[in-house]
Amino acid sequence: MSAETTSTETADRDSNDTDQNINTEVTGGRLVTDGGTSFTTDHTVFDVQPGLTDGLDDAQTLLADLVSIPSTSGEESAAAERLCQFFQSHGRDAWIDAVGNVRAPADDSVLLTSHIDTVPGDVPVKIENGVLWGRGSVDATGPLAAMAVAAVDTGVSFAGVVREETTSAGAWHLIENRTPPETVINGEPSGWDGITLGYRGFLSGTYVATSELGHSSRPEDNAIQSAVNWWSSVAAFFESEDSTDTDGVFETVTTKPVTFDGGPTEDGLVVESTVDVQFRIPPQYTIEDVREVAEGELSDGSVHWEKPIPPVMKSPRTDVARAFRVAIRSAGGEPRLLRKTGTSDMNIFSGAWNCPMATYGPGDSDLDHAPNEHLDLAEYDSAISVLIDVCDRLTSSETKTSTVTDPKTESETQQHHTNNTHEHAEPDPEPTRV
């Protein structure tokens, strides 16, 4: 990492964050069973198999410890402390910033980042036949731990962010209080041989309408009918749009009402209705496109919109995507390029930082939030090896002056010509929709 990057990150830390100081030698914390680590943050642990970490190496122990610590959104402090201790035990500076992110800046050629929080769920933590079971083992503690290990091994920057499962407060804080890195690798489960390049965007809002209370025999629509009519019109518009010229769920706008409430007010004079709605937005639409349609269908009432998350679709021809393909093939795999129908913090990073990025991590995303969430430790180890290989390629002096060569594609000279003449001509596989 350059001296300039180091000083900027340190300045960000000093001027914008109220940091939580972590002392790895503290003895006053409560001794817990997750790795025998002493914590300054009092916390509970899941139902953990006795001797869970016996026979595990350092990287696997970190993963097992983090999975053993409940870390639902807003309750990540103990897991964040364990992450800081891991970095400090390997001679790396690390701290917890004002919103709870773990910051470990170093070589900003690459920023490895994943989220610390998980969804709720008490899944007993155990290892059976080389498979770790527990909440977050896939989404996204497995990718988080793999990135921490790779960051220590290669000397690249790391950030563990909070509240991705709810407000993405950690990612928003990071882009507002950090200079852009040269490359971002975001951590989410893709399988050790998968590279995620696209996510749909996210827009949520609340519709509100009121009307005078009258006898039900009156022909005029009341506020409840207005809410039903509005949402039906919005959903019908996108269903009609999605029925033509689309290729699977990824390229459609998904519309979902998530809560619906309505009825007379306590004084009996007015009927009120509220509908909380969500949209998943593919890259061919903008946030404003969807807002314009939704507001154009209003006949009564209004919509209050929450902070949106834009869609993202990255090229498979960036240095980071090529480095992943080379590293996965070198490890004996066949790379899979993925597009996911959900949303991740990569959407936020892409909207703020104009740099190459991709999302990667061990685990089967079908197990996200599932009661049987589990991760094969062999896959976890393979993902670490791939991440180390990718970071080594992206931080090498040769890579910084030329692109990474993928032996399964055309020459770099041809690729450069292709990129400047016809964007879709390179014979890379089409990303799979997940």
Both tokens of 285, joined, read 């639409």
Conformation bin of residue 51: beta by default, left when phi > 0, alpha when psi is -120 to 50: left
Are 114 and 160 within 8 A, CB to CB?
A: yes
Kindly report each contact of residues 254-263 with a partner whose C-beta sits within 8 Å and lies 24 or more positions away, as own/partner: 254/200, 254/279, 254/280, 254/341, 255/279, 256/280, 257/231, 260/227, 262/223, 262/224, 262/227, 263/224
Instruction: Report the distance separating Cα 164 and Cα 181, nearest Å.
Output: 20
Instruction: Report the distance separating Cα 123 and Cα 138, nearest Å.
Output: 12
CA dihedral for 93, 94, 95, 97, sign (positive or negative): positive
Q: Residue 184: which residues within 8 A CB-CB, separation 6 or more?
A: 110, 111, 113, 346, 349, 353, 355, 356, 357, 358
Instruction: Report the distance separating Cα 388 and Cα 149, nearest Å.
Output: 9
Please, is 50 exposed, middle or buried when counting C-beta atoms within 10 Å of its C-beta (0-12, 13-18, 19+)? exposed
Report CA-CA distances (Å) from 271 to 169, 207, 225, 267, 283: 35, 14, 10, 10, 38
Residues labelled catalytic: 117, 164
Both tokens of 367, joined, read 């197990």
Helices and strands, counts by H and E, the chain = 12, 19
